[in-house]
Amino acid sequence: MHSRVDVAPPAQDNRSPATARITAIRVAPLQGQSPQGGWSNEIAEEDSIHALVAIHTDAGLSGYGSAFTSGKLAQAAVEVLKPLLIGENALEPERVTEKLHQNTFWMGRGGTLTHAISGIDIALWDILGKATGLPIGQLLGGRYRDRAQPYCSLLMDEPERMADILLPHHERGFRAFKIGWGPFGRRDDPRLDEAIVRAAREAVGDGVRLFVDAGASDAYWPNGLKWALNTARMLKDYGVGWFEEALKPDAIDDFVELRKASPVPIAGGEVLTRRQAYTPWLVRGALDIVQPDVTKVGGISEQRRIAWMAQEFGVRYVGHGWNTALGLAADLQLASAFPDCDLVEYIGGSAYVDRLTREPFALDGEGYLAIPDRPGLGIELEPEHLARYTPDPAAFFAG
């Protein structure tokens, strides 16, 4: 049977619904100060691996989002999506984003299109917030907190370099750190791995939260379950709060085993996209902490559903949208809307986080970030700052 059932729209009163029709979607590739990722094929400063997305409307409101992908790919994806977006009501982010997912099933779902949709969805929520005068966290159902602890993400290096890497950020006020990638797990030398973690713990002291990220989504990750298990036991001795990407990202069976046996919580999921991809990881109990990236998973609409699903399975949610100021702002709003999410990732020393906004992010005396209570994402891009990192900022802001 292929009959279609037409459902009559509900009876409406005489007021027309609030609208802000989409008139333009713009992309600003970020380049020139791209931070290193610790990848074996390392990122160069001039590489574009992140892009900002602007959505302009006929209501005079504009919203901004961020996509974790090359600017060229983001631009190509937006060209594909534009016919589905122009004229749409920007004040209905979840419906409009789902329309994009549903109509691009055959066009590369889960990849570049999903990454670009993430930036679009964040921008739509920003517009809804500006139209209603409410921060996104409140639109998501309510704010459980007014601040979150940013953990400063830094790359690992030789043990004797770790204090120099960590201490400037400790002096800036961070009281939580994640160290990862670099030589860790890549030299077949467990004593080196331990020396790196020991040096980091000694540098920051015992009162600081410390997390470790093996970065096993790097190309040709060489280790398996036994390495991960032995390393997890070592990390316990240094008070490490979680062990992230300890196995190749598709090794779900081994993650199930690792979670059961590890004395430290097991975190992962940053490379998964779309809510459907998280279901088996939660159903099978593969993770203690799930880390979707709001700038590639499908945006705030998708991340919210993943985070709530994790709650039902007793799995913690911590966002991974660390790559730009807009990704961080989206993570802060999401953190406000979940009862047990008090952390956001904050890449240490990135111009795309620290130098894009009118007001820089500022840590309070305890190393926390205030979650903006202004409308939408609650932060403002500074066009003059953005001009340093993208070739045509005027086009980006033009409605």
For Mg ion, give the closer residue by CB, 227 or 396.
227
Please confirm, yes or no, whether 320 is among the known catalytic residues: yes
Nearer to Mg ion, 101 or 320 (CB): 320
Q: Return the number of the residue (193 or 213) whose C-beta is nearest Mg ion.
A: 213
Q: CB of residue 115 vs Mg ion: minimum separation in angstroms?
A: 16
User: Cβ of residue 217: shortest distance to Mg ion, in angstroms?
Assistant: 7
Q: Which of residues 196-225 bind Mg ion (CB under 5 A)?
A: 213
Q: Can you give the chain as a three-state secondary structure string?
A: CCCCCCCCCCCCCCCCCCCCEEEEEEEEEECCCCCCCCCCCCCCCCCCCEEEEEEEECCCCEEEEEECCCHHHHHHHHHHHHHHHCCCECCCHHHHHHHHHHCCCCCCCCCHHHHHHHHHHHHHHHHHHHHHCCEHHHHCCCCCCCEEEEEEEEECCCHHHHHHHHHHHHHHCCCEEEEECCCCCCCCCHHHHHHHHHHHHHHHCCCCEEEEECCCCCCCCCCCHHHHHHHHHHHHCCCEEEEECCCCCCCHHHHHHHHHHCCCCEEECCCCCCHHHHHHHHHCCCCCEECCCCCCCCCHHHHHHHHHHHHHCCCEECCCCCCCHHHHHHHHHHHHCCCCCCEEEEECCCHHHHCCECCCCCECCCCCEECCCCCECCCCECHHHHCCCCCCHHHHHCC
Residues in contact with Mg ion, counted by CB under 5 A, come to a total of: 1
CB of 270 to Mg ion, least distance (A): 5
Tell me: does residue 331 bind Mg ion (CB under 5 A). no
Least gap, CB of 296 to Mg ion (angstroms): 13
**For Mg ion, which is the closer residue by CB, 121 or 213?**
213
Q: Which is nearer to Mg ion, 121 or 270 (CB)?
A: 270
For the bound state, the minimum distance from the C-beta of residue 339 to Mg ion, rounded and expressed in Å, comes to 24
Residue nearest to Mg ion (CB): 213
Q: Catalog residues that contact Mg ion under the rule CB under 5 A.
A: 213
Q: Which residues participate in catalysis according to the annotation?
A: 320
